[in-house]
Structure 1
Amino acid sequence: MSATIGGALIGALFAVAALVFGFWGFLLVVLFTAIGALVARVASGQLDLRALANVFSGRRTS
């Protein structure tokens, strides 16, 4: 699946959520989608939590 198709599907999901659940339901769907994306990246090894924590704490290495 290309990034364009994936983005369109996510946009359609958000639009349906906004229409069905209202504003706060929409925000909840967006929040859970973002959490799911982060968990998937950590599980696949594409996101290193230790490096991310170092960036936010100011201990960045170049």
Structure 2
Amino acid sequence: MTMPIKSLESYALDRWVAPTEGLVDIASAIDGRVVARASTRGLDFSAMVRHARDVGGPALRAMTFHQR
């Protein structure tokens, strides 16, 4: 019995983004069969960098090593 191949979502800008096009196969390192699909289409990388600098970075720096 084969399992359905999952499309991996990206967590970007505080939300989950489901891929809709441009899916690329992700192969198993063990046997080479396709285990998932993913895409970066539709992701705004400039906005993601700004968010990381303005929101994520300060939040991480406010935490201790153990809180992270």
Q: Structure 1 length normalisation: TM-score?
A: 0.30
Structure showing greater radius of gyration is 2
Q: Structure 2 length normalisation: TM-score?
A: 0.29
Query: Which structure has the higher relative contact order (CA within 8 Å, separation 6+)?
Result: 2
Q: Which has the higher strand share?
A: 2
